[in-house]
A and B are shown apart, each in its own frame.
Chain A
Amino acid sequence: MTRIPVFVVGGYLGAGKTTFINECLNRGLRNAAIIVNDFGEINIDASIISARHGDTLELSNGCVCCSIGTSLADTLFTILDRPTPPDMIIIEASGVADPASVAAYTHLQGLVLAGIIVMVDAMNALETARNPLLVAAFERQVRAAHLVALSKTDIAAPTMTSESRDLVTSLNPGAAIVAVDALALADLVVDHPASGHDSTVPPRTDGSAVSAFTSRVHRFATPPSLDVLREFLESLPQNAVRAKGAVETSDGTVVLVHKSGRHITTTPTSLAPTGLVIISTG
């Protein structure tokens, strides 16, 4: 059975979750379901809204956007029941939610966790971590992350950025940390694995031509066994923060690979093999 990859995006208020999701939509994300906490903040070009019922928006690019509602399980079941289930689901956790609790829902039948991305605002992280009301939620969020996006490093003082990075590392030594803003972070999620890095993808809205990341496509000389594939993924250098793609394996089946930080999933897929896109920092 194929399973839909799910990204959970967490982080405290102001870290850039909504900007990230808006950017994903603007950058040509297709056939994805996006479950947001902040429905009112989502900025969708009215011309691509093809239908609206209740708290669900259908977009002409095949995406569907809905609010988390009172029950995430029900929201996910409703998405799974759609005549054409999405290729990907992105869940925006609330500013105080524990992303690990949200990610627990990806064990529901038909889903698989592609990764937990937690956005940490380098301008405010240290203060949030000192606030007695917020520290517990902040620490839970950072500890749950496979990949931490340290945002606002372009405006934060360098000492703030480095102290924030140290704080994240002390809370979660295993997480991959990328110092990118919400717009650049979309590079890690948007491209459909079937298309590799697609030159038709619209440019980032900040106008910068160059990604904060470098990417390459790896093709195996002979289809690897699942074990070999997994070993390969685990042996990638630490700056290879993300990998994705549909890979043919030695038994003839194709598996969909998602690697976010150290989190790796391989699930059977009906997609044609694409090779493995490996995205690295620096």
Chain B
Amino acid sequence: MTKSHQQTSSDVIYTARIIRTANPSRPTGAAIAVRDGRVLCVGTLEECQSWGITNVDRRFEGKVLTAGFVEAHSHVMAGMFHQIPYVGWFRRRMPNGEWVDGVRSTAELAERIAAIAASTPQGESIIVAGFDPIYLDTERLSRHHLDEATTSHPVFVFHASGHLATVNSFTLQKYDIGPNHPAPGVGFDDDGTPNGELREPAAMGLARDEFRAIGRVVFDPATLVQFGASMRNAGITTATDLGSTTHMTVDGFERMKKTVASDDFPVRAVVATRVVGSPSDMNAVVDRILECRKDSGDKLLFPIVKLVLDGSIQGFTAVIEWPKYYTGDDHGLFLVPPEQVVDFLRPFHVAGIGIHCHCNGSTTSQVFIDAIEVLLRESSWPDHRHTVTHAQLMTPAQMRKARNLGMSANFFVNHVYYWGDQHRDVTVGPDRAHGMNACGTADRIGLQFSFHTDAPVTPPGHLHTMWCAVNRLTASGKVLGENERISVDRAFHAATIDAAYQLHLDHVVGSLEVGKFADMTVLEADPYEVAPETIRDIEIWGTVVGGVPHPNPAAK
């Protein structure tokens, strides 16, 4: 027996009902052998045991193991609901694994807040988040509803869009927001008194303490801990914080590193640096990223940066091509000057750092693709994998060009379900709505793609994105874009190895292959075998990261 056949103390074989590897060369197995946190063998139990391992762990015997899901576009704020109660429309799993039911009316919201008020000292702020009125048939939320909940605490309801808050009368009085307040974004009743709506950060900031409390959550190490827990519960083994600045300070980096390095922290964290400031600042950002890479371990990774080019489609702030918006006013807004995009990105491209660019609109997708073409003419990097993220309105022509340039797309496919009806009826109209987040077109064209949840914007978890890509059903139950539906197998690869590819991490995560990290998602049923319309309902036991099981504490 050679040395490699001698069992070491960490060696373990997990058996399962089936293992889905995301490696088409050997797509399934019955057992997986793990050594030093890496895949030693996937195959039959006998094949695994032939490595001389006798330690067989049968806890997953009746379950399904898949290559760990990789989320290439989420935000650490997905951990916020640990500290800030969730009041959204859809039921949602909290970091502790418990489900919280959706809030289905303004009256129900008031009841939730009243319950919190009952155990909160008078005068102390009550902040709740995730409220999503787009689905409510009842009248628009105002201070009047919140005054039903309490008149002795400041109440601040932070909406899911991130662009709006509603406050109660106590809050308005606390900050002297009275009739005819001049700030744009303060909403009024017909009689001229503020109705409690504060639109956009400039107006939300009028409620200074409450608004700042939400901002501070981002940098709180507890939020990162809860982000990890939320991702584990959703079956994600590699999760991206797309657009972070925390690590730009040494203190921030050290705090982050300490949190992630803990054995209890259940995911590999990909930190995508937010490109912000001016082009002349970018060389220093490159240096900082290279510095962070040196000393961060194999659970904290800095492969890419993120640039934001426009706003959102439902907020009418995405920049889109002719004929622009279907209804509503066009507020399309570039967040950096289009002619500076190349200057912003050049230092990263030259240094070999991947670029993910937030483009919701078709105009911004084009500007980004054109910028990458300029950079590639200047400076060759055949393996760049620069990615259009969101890519919601990318056209077939843009996809062909992106393919030719070696780019990728990361679609916000959850929009089909969460906002698909609104896109068809309100934002872009019936024709273009069918072609939003066009996984089918990308597949036919041969553009490399993944998809994402943008958590906390939509709940984390790739069973839901897969379900959207496979079924294309809206919240009202209508099919939106039947020709953009893809197969379960294609969707599974998009959620695993193809997302890993966009992060330049496909050599270590994204599939179960010899030598790669033993990162797995543990499911109660096989997405390939259940009825496609029930994929999102599959129970998630938890994950295995680096060979170590991380159960969702609330799972059966």
Expressed in whole angstroms, the Cα–Cα distance for A136 and B249 within the complex equals 36
Q: Mark B249-269, 1 if CB is under 8 A from A, else 0.
A: 100000000000000000000
Expressed in whole angstroms, the Cα–Cα distance for A137 and B182 within the complex equals 24
Q: Mark A116-154, 1 if CB is under 8 A from B, else 0.
A: 000000000000000001101100000000000000000
- Are A39 and B277 in contact (CB-based, < 8 A)? yes
- Are A73 and B278 in contact (CB-based, < 8 A)? no
Expressed in whole angstroms, the Cα–Cα distance for A157 and B363 within the complex equals 33
- Are A77 and B281 in contact (CB-based, < 8 A)? no
Given the known inter-chain contacts A13-B337, A101-B200, please indicate yes or no for A109 contacting B175, CB distance below 8 A: yes
Interface residues of B in 330-348 (CB under 8 A from A): 330, 332-340
Q: Which residue of A lies closest to B278 (CB)?
A: A38
Given the known inter-chain contacts A38-B280, A107-B202, please indicate yes or no for A95 contacting B215, CB distance below 8 A: no
Q: Is B367's CB within 8 Å of the partner chain A?
A: yes
Selected from B212, B363, B367, the residue in CB contact (under 8 A) with A74 is B212
Q: Is A96's CB within 8 Å of the partner chain B?
A: yes
Given the known inter-chain contacts A67-B277, A98-B333, A109-B206, please indicate yes or no for A134 contacting B338, CB distance below 8 A: yes
- Are B206 and A108 in contact (CB-based, < 8 A)? yes
- Are A71 and B215 in contact (CB-based, < 8 A)? yes
Q: Which residue of A lies closest to B185 (CB)?
A: A104
* CB-defined contacts of A70 to chain B, threshold 8 Å: 245, 274, 276
- Are B278 and A133 in contact (CB-based, < 8 A)? no
Q: Is A45's CB within 8 Å of the partner chain B?
A: no
Interface residues of B in 152-197 (CB under 8 A from A): 175-176, 181-185
Q: Mark B197-237, 1 if CB is under 8 A from A, else 0.
A: 00011111110100110010000000000000000000000
* CB-defined contacts of B339 to chain A, threshold 8 Å: 13
- Are A137 and B334 in contact (CB-based, < 8 A)? yes
Distance (whole angstroms) from the CB of B534 to the closest CB of chain A: 40
- Are A94 and B337 in contact (CB-based, < 8 A)? yes
Q: Is A237's CB within 8 Å of the partner chain B?
A: no
Interface residues of B in 362-403 (CB under 8 A from A): 363, 367
- Are B183 and A136 in contact (CB-based, < 8 A)? no
- Are B337 and A12 in contact (CB-based, < 8 A)? yes
Selected from A39, A54, A77, A95, the residue in CB contact (under 8 A) with B337 is A95
Distance (whole angstroms) from the CB of B7 to the closest CB of chain A: 50
* CB-defined contacts of B208 to chain A, threshold 8 Å: 77, 108-109
Q: Is A72's CB within 8 Å of the partner chain B?
A: yes
Q: Is A269's CB within 8 Å of the partner chain B?
A: no
Q: Mark B85-118, 1 if CB is under 8 A from A, else 0.
A: 0000000000000000000000000000000000
- Are B184 and A94 in contact (CB-based, < 8 A)? no
* CB-defined contacts of A96 to chain B, threshold 8 Å: 333-338
* CB-defined contacts of B276 to chain A, threshold 8 Å: 69-70
Selected from A72, A95, A98, A134, the residue in CB contact (under 8 A) with B201 is A72
Distance (whole angstroms) from the CB of B358 to the closest CB of chain A: 13
Q: Which residue of A lies closest to B243 (CB)?
A: A70
Expressed in whole angstroms, the Cα–Cα distance for A250 and B522 within the complex equals 77
* CB-defined contacts of B367 to chain A, threshold 8 Å: 133
Expressed in whole angstroms, the Cα–Cα distance for A54 and B211 within the complex equals 23
Expressed in whole angstroms, the Cα–Cα distance for A12 and B337 within the complex equals 8
Expressed in whole angstroms, the Cα–Cα distance for A67 and B205 within the complex equals 19
- Are A39 and B278 in contact (CB-based, < 8 A)? yes
- Are B332 and A37 in contact (CB-based, < 8 A)? no
Expressed in whole angstroms, the Cα–Cα distance for A133 and B205 within the complex equals 31
Selected from B182, B277, B333, the residue in CB contact (under 8 A) with A40 is B277
* CB-defined contacts of A107 to chain B, threshold 8 Å: 181-184, 202-203, 206
- Are B205 and A105 in contact (CB-based, < 8 A)? yes
- Are A73 and B211 in contact (CB-based, < 8 A)? yes
Interface residues of B in 299-342 (CB under 8 A from A): 330, 332-340
Q: Mark B269-313, 1 if CB is under 8 A from A, else 0.
A: 000001011111100000000000000000000000000000000
Distance (whole angstroms) from the CB of B359 to the closest CB of chain A: 13
- Are A133 and B338 in contact (CB-based, < 8 A)? yes
Selected from B202, B280, B363, the residue in CB contact (under 8 A) with A101 is B202
Q: Is A251's CB within 8 Å of the partner chain B?
A: no
* CB-defined contacts of A71 to chain B, threshold 8 Å: 201, 215
Question: Considering residues B184, B203, B249, B334, which has the most beta carbons from chain A within 10 angstroms of its beta carbon?
Answer: B334
* CB-defined contacts of A12 to chain B, threshold 8 Å: 337
Given the known inter-chain contacts A77-B208, A107-B182, A133-B367, please indicate yes or no for A54 contacting B202, CB distance below 8 A: no
- Are B278 and A104 in contact (CB-based, < 8 A)? no
Q: Which residue of A lies closest to B182 (CB)?
A: A107
* CB-defined contacts of B212 to chain A, threshold 8 Å: 74, 77
Expressed in whole angstroms, the Cα–Cα distance for A108 and B206 within the complex equals 5
Question: Considering residues A41, A74, A133, which has the most beta carbons from chain B within 10 angstroms of its beta carbon?
Answer: A133
Interface residues of A in 31-46 (CB under 8 A from B): 37-41
Interface residues of A in 49-107 (CB under 8 A from B): 54, 67, 69-74, 76-77, 94-96, 98, 100-101, 104-105, 107
* CB-defined contacts of A134 to chain B, threshold 8 Å: 337-338
- Are A104 and B336 in contact (CB-based, < 8 A)? no
* CB-defined contacts of A105 to chain B, threshold 8 Å: 201-202, 205
Q: Which residue of B lies closest to A69 (CB)?
A: B276
- Are B245 and A94 in contact (CB-based, < 8 A)? no
Q: Which residue of B lies closest to A137 (CB)?
A: B334
Distance (whole angstroms) from the CB of B408 to the closest CB of chain A: 24
Expressed in whole angstroms, the Cα–Cα distance for A35 and B530 within the complex equals 56
* CB-defined contacts of A136 to chain B, threshold 8 Å: 330, 332-333
Expressed in whole angstroms, the Cα–Cα distance for A13 and B183 within the complex equals 28
Expressed in whole angstroms, the Cα–Cα distance for A107 and B203 within the complex equals 8
Given the known inter-chain contacts A133-B334, A133-B363, please indicate yes or no for A104 contacting B215, CB distance below 8 A: no
Distance (whole angstroms) from the CB of B489 to the closest CB of chain A: 39
Distance (whole angstroms) from the CB of A195 to the closest CB of chain B: 30
Distance (whole angstroms) from the CB of B247 to the closest CB of chain A: 13
- Are B336 and A40 in contact (CB-based, < 8 A)? no
Distance (whole angstroms) from the CB of A266 to the closest CB of chain B: 14
Q: Which residue of B lies closest to A41 (CB)?
A: B280
Selected from A41, A67, A94, the residue in CB contact (under 8 A) with B336 is A94
Expressed in whole angstroms, the Cα–Cα distance for A116 and B449 within the complex equals 44
Interface residues of A in 5-34 (CB under 8 A from B): 12-13
Distance (whole angstroms) from the CB of B366 to the closest CB of chain A: 9
* CB-defined contacts of A104 to chain B, threshold 8 Å: 183-185, 200, 202-203
16 A/B residue pairs, CB under 8 Å, sorted by A:
A37-B277, A70-B274, A73-B205, A73-B211, A73-B215, A94-B335, A94-B336, A101-B200, A101-B202, A104-B183, A104-B185, A107-B182, A107-B183, A108-B205, A109-B206, A133-B367
Beyond A107-B181, A133-B338, 17 extra complex contacts between A and B, CB < 8 Å: A37-B277, A39-B281, A54-B249, A70-B274, A71-B215, A73-B204, A77-B212, A94-B336, A96-B335, A107-B183, A107-B206, A108-B202, A108-B206, A109-B175, A133-B363, A136-B332, A136-B333
Q: What residues make up the interface of B, taking CB atoms closer than 8 Å to A?
A: 175-176, 181-185, 200-206, 208, 211-212, 215, 245, 249, 274, 276-281, 330, 332-340, 363, 367
